[in-house]
Amino acid sequence: MVQPASNPVPCRDCPIRQRPCFREFTPEELAFVQSFKVNELVFEKGETILVEGTKTAHLYTVLSGWSFRYKLLEDGNRQILNYALPGDFIGLQGSVFENLEHSVECLTRVRACVFPRDKLWHLYSSYPDLAFDVTWLASREESIIGEFLANVGQRRAQARVAYFLLHLFYHVRQSGLAEGDACFFPLTQQHLSDTLGLSLVHTNKTLKRLYDLGTFEWSAQKLRILNEERLIEIAGQQPSPPKVRPFI
């Protein structure tokens, strides 16, 4: 069950905002964001935040937890588009188009700020720098999905897996959630295979090969990068480092 958070945090004191990966806000921007925020919700693991094909009345900023965006094909296959970590923005597409073209599901319990769609217009008319930030975030999504497309379209299984593991690890690290060369990692192999366009079995065998090469460890939802250089070499290219981003 989705629940309102018991102890919502004022934006000014938001612990996430302090992180160096986010650009700083002026007091006015902060005040607006505070007024933009109407609620704070908690979704449980496995719950669906947004559903493909529906209209949404809300936008979300993730405060904690992991979720992923995906499309369901008519034959039942699933393509995962991207993963959302704390600080990421969810549901913009639903506020911009008539209806959503993907769903969002929680990998863990997720706590998120809620913004009403109809106030987005106020943001655009009064806070052009925030409006620009929203565009920036949309562009960033596009850029990440473009990287994934190149990954899936042009790389073989082993390179594809190596590239994605690094990409996601870099994203986690930039969000301030890594501990050295390790991080929490709540995906299953099924998620990996739906992200990479590989079968589950082949994903498993490919992971084993990379594991046997001593490049990483993964168990009990913990991922540890053991040989980053080697992974980059196998991937054929280093995933682009995440950028400092706005946090709305």
Partner DNA sequence: CGGGTTCTTGACTAGTTTCAAGCAAAGTGG
Partner DNA sequence: CCACTTTGCTTGAAACTAGTCAAGAACCCG
* Positions that interact with DNA (CB under 7 A): 156-158, 188-190, 197-202, 204-208, 220
Does residue 79 belong to the site contacting its own copies (CB under 8 A)?
Answer: yes
- Taking the complex as a whole, the smallest distance from the CB of residue 185 to its own copies amounts, in Å, to 21
- Closer to DNA by Cβ: residue 92 or 198: 198
CB 161 within 8 A of CB 206: yes
Question: In this structure, what DSSP letter does residue 215 have?
Answer: S
Interface stretch with its own copies, choices 15-23, 164-172, 180-188, 192-200 (CB under 8 A): 192-200
Q: Residue written as tokens 């600080």?
A: 87
Residue 8 burial class via C-beta count within 10 angstroms: exposed 0-12, middle 13-18, buried 19 and up: middle
User: Is 131 one of the binding residues for its own copies (CB under 8 A)?
Assistant: yes
Among 18, 139, 188, 221, interactor with its own copies by CB under 8 A: 139
- State yes or no: residue 84 binds its own copies (CB under 8 A): no
Helix axes 200-212, 157-174, angle to 10 degrees: 80
Q: 218, 181 in Cβ contact below 8 A?
A: no
Task: Give CA–CA dist 182/173, Å, rounded.
Answer: 9
101 binds, among its own copies, DNA, none (CB under 5 to 8 A by kind): its own copies
Instruction: Give the end-to-end CA distance of the chain in Å, rounded to a whole number.
Output: 25
What is the distance between the alpha carbons of residues 160 and 198, in angstroms, rounded to a whole number?
9
Binding partner of residue 244 among its own copies, DNA, none, CB cut-off 5 to 8 Å per kind: none
Euclidean distance between CA atoms 134 and 124, whole angstroms: 9
Q: Is 138 in the site for its own copies (CB under 8 A)?
A: yes
Q: Compute the least distance from the CB of residue 163 to DNA, in Å.
A: 12
**190 is a contact residue toward its own copies (CB under 8 A):** no
Summarize as ranges the residues that interact with its own copies (CB under 8 A).
Answer: 71, 73-75, 77-79, 81, 92-93, 96-98, 101-102, 121, 124-125, 128-129, 131-132, 134-136, 138-143, 145-150, 152-155, 195-197, 236-237, 240, 243
